[in-house]
Amino acid sequence: MTGPGGMDGLPDELQPKPFGIAAEIMARAERDLVFVVKFLGESQHILQRHFQSFVQTELEKRGITFGDHPLLLPFIETHGSELAEFVVTGIGLHHQFHLTAFEEMAGDPQQLLRLDIWNTLQSYIDKAEAHFISDIGGLQQILAAVEEARALRVDLPKGEP
């Protein structure tokens, strides 16, 4: 049932138009439509576990264990998640395919695409690890916090925890 001004009482300018906005957007598809590579599910979990293990190993190389700071486990989990997100986001930004690229693909480009994604993935993992080790907000931050916690424990009078 239509009311004043058209269908469902909407003014004419708000009425759905055949081939309206969808057609306008799709007319720009060659330029604006992008397919993005994104890792989901178990792959994200594997990446996150890798970085958590990496962070823990880097701390252990410097003599830091779980007893050294009460927030060490959350630190490892948080930085592992952040490093994994850096890689996943980087892959997505690096591997964007326009509609025309998919339309023009011929033969079996799957192997070439897999190799390209693998190279990019390894590159982002390496960058994330190097950034964690050298960045003041990463490894350096926890090293300073652990040293501070150790100093506080040394300064405590005997018999206090």
**What's the confidence (pLDDT) of residue 1?**
43
Please name the amino acid found at residue 16: P
For 38-79, the pLDDT digits (tens) are 888 999 999 999 999 999 999 899 888 877 777 888 889 999
Residues 116, 86: Cα–Cα separation, whole Å: 18
**What's the confidence (pLDDT) of residue 71?**
82
The sign of the torsion formed by the CA atoms of 74, 78, 81, 83 equals negative
Q: Is the pLDDT of residue 156 over 80?
A: no
Q: Which two tokens stand for residue 111?
A: 């192997």
Instruction: Name which residue leads in pLDDT, 121 or 100.
Output: 121
- Cβ-proximal residues to 6 (8 Å cutoff; 6+ apart), any chain: 12, 15
User: What are the phi and psi torsion angles at 84 (to 5°)?
Assistant: -65, -40
Element (DSSP H or E) covering residue 142: helix 139-155
Please name the amino acid found at residue 99: L
**What's the confidence (pLDDT) of residue 108?**
55
Neighbours of 132 (CB within 10 A): 21
Reduced to 3 states, what is the DSSP secondary structure of residue 95? coil
Residues 39, 60: Cα–Cα separation, whole Å: 29
User: What are the phi and psi torsion angles at 137 (to 5°)?
Assistant: -85, -5
Pairing of strands 96-98, 34-36: antiparallel
Dihedral, CA of residue 33, residue 43, residue 57 and residue 131, to nearest 10: 0
Q: Let me know how many helices (H) and strands (E) the chain has, helices first.
A: 7, 4
For 2-39, the pLDDT digits (tens) are 445 455 566 666 655 556 677 777 788 888 888 888 88
Q: Once rounded to an integer, what is the mean pLDDT over residues 125-134? A: 86
Instruction: Name which residue leads in pLDDT, 119 or 104.
Output: 119
Q: Once rounded to an integer, what is the mean pLDDT over residues 108-116? A: 66
Cα 2 versus chain centre, distance:
48
**What's the confidence (pLDDT) of residue 154?**
58
Q: Predicted confidence band at 85 (pLDDT cuts at 50, 70, 90)?
A: very high
Q: Among 89-93, 113-117, 148-152, where is mean pLDDT lowest?
A: 113-117
